[in-house]
Structure formats: C-alpha cells, structure tokens
C-alpha cells in the first residue's frame, strides 16, 4: 500500500490537520493516511501535553467515517523521545512492503537537518510537503545538500497544494482556556469532547 504517515501531538486535532491529510491522500494517490500521535515529541519536551489516550480519542472522533484514515499508536508505549526515524523504521519492520510517505509542512521541513538522523527519514519515506505561510518549499536537491547525504540516498519529494488554513492547536487551547468557541475550527465531536472533559481549562 501507499501509506501517508502524519505525525504530531494533535493537542487537539483540528480542521487544518484533516484538510492537509485529505489533500495528501488525493494528490499522492495514497491508499491510507495513518495518524500517529506523538507520545514524547523531542521538540516539546518542556511543554505539558494532554494525556496520550485523550489525544488519540479526539483523533478517533475526528476521522470517524473516513475509510482511508486510521490511527496508529506505535509511539504510545515506546520509551524515549518519539523520533520520526525510529518510527518509520519500526513501521517498515512491522508492515513490510508498504510505500511510506511522510506528510510535513514546509516550516517543519526547514528544520529537517536538525532532526534525529534525518538521512534515515528520507531513505525510508517520500516527503509530502505542504506549503505554510512564509515558509519556502525547498527542492529535493536543496534538501539533499542540506543533509549532506551520501551518494546512494536520494530525496523523494512531492509538493501538496492545500488551502492555507491558519488554525493552530495552540490557538485552540488558548480559546478553550478562555471559554471561547471552537466551532468550525475542529470537528463538532472534538469540540464537544473538549468541552465535556474540561480540557485546556
């Protein structure tokens, strides 16, 4: 299968995430998109996170009814930071034969050289890059040069055109903390979950 891997904290998941996932599915002809909630994101070690189980439950509510979307909890019990290189390697070991496509924003891609063993990431997955406001999309050659990759490793990169929806999980958390509406920013089921559980208060 052609599988899109979409990682993140999803704290909470919002419509921007879902729009990107659907555009990637269609434009890259993916069979499925797997949402991977991060258990211990290395770039957010000092940031308090909503418990993994609740972030996964919100994701389940958000993607319910979409046959090509699923959640993979591969990072839930794994010790240590949730490095993308390790996750892709484990996915490839447990699901051999799949073609992997990593969904990432152009702002995230700019930080790729600082990731843990980025050469392992590009060796195992095609990069599906979604434009972000103000962030340039580098070419495959520019990515390869930035990573100083050895000869045999090629960078596979495809640009995904998607509506630029400026919604962020941080803004949703702030709105919830202030008692403001989340309507039309996240699926209704997620909005009700956040309100019912008193999240982000």
pLDDT band at residue 177, thresholds of 50, 70 and 90?
Answer: very high
User: Would you say residue 84 lies in a domain?
Assistant: yes
**Average pLDDT in the chain:** 93
pLDDT digits (tens, 9 = 90+) for 86-103: 999 999 999 999 999 999
Of 47-51, 178-182, 184-188, the range with the lowest mean pLDDT is 47-51
Indicate which CATH number applies to the domain containing 70.
Answer: 3.40.50.620
Does residue 131 belong to any structural domain of this protein? yes
pLDDT 10s digits, 21-77: 999 999 999 999 999 999 887 766 667 899 999 999 999 999 999 999 999 999 998
Tell me the whole-structure pTM to 2 decimals: 0.93
Picking from 74-88, 92-106, 164-178, which range would have the lowest pLDDT averaged per residue? 74-88
| pLDDT for res 45 | 64
**What's the structural domain count of the chain?**
1
Domain that holds residue 38: 2-164
- 40 phi, psi to nearest 5 deg: -135, 75
Residues in the chain: 201
The closest alpha carbon to 162, from 11, 13, 19, belongs to: 19
Distances (CA, A) of 43 to 85, 87, 108, 185: 14, 16, 11, 25
Residue 63 lies in a domain: yes
> Would 65 be classed as within a structural domain?
yes
**For residue 155, is it within any domain?**
yes
Residue 195 lies in a domain: no
What is the three-class DSSP state of 14?
coil
């Amino acid at each position: 299968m052609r599988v899109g891997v979409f990682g993140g904290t999803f704290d909470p998941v919002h419509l921007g995430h879902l729009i990107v996932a659907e555009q990637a599915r269609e434009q890259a002809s993916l069979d499925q998109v797997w949402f991977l909630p991060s258990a211990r994101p290395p770039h957010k070690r000092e940031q308090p996170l909503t418990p993994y189980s609740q972030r996964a439950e919100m994701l389940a509510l958000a993607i319910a009814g979409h046959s090509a979307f699923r959640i993979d909890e591969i990072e839930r019990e794994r010790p240590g930071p949730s490095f993308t290189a390790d996750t892709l390697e484990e996915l490839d070991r447990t699901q051999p034969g799949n073609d992997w496509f990593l969904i990432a924003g152009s702002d995230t891609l700019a930080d790729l050289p600082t990731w843990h063993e980025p050469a392992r990431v590009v060796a195992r997955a095609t990069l599906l890059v979604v434009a972000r406001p103000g962030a340039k999309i580098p070419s495959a050659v520019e990515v390869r040069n930035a990573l100083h990759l050895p000869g045999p490793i090629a960078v596979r990169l495809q640009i995904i055109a998607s509506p630029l929806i400026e919604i962020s999980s941080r803004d949703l958390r702030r709105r919830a903390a202030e008692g403001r509406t989340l309507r039309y920013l996240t699926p209704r089921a997620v909005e009700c979950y956040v309100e019912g559980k008193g999240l982000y208060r």
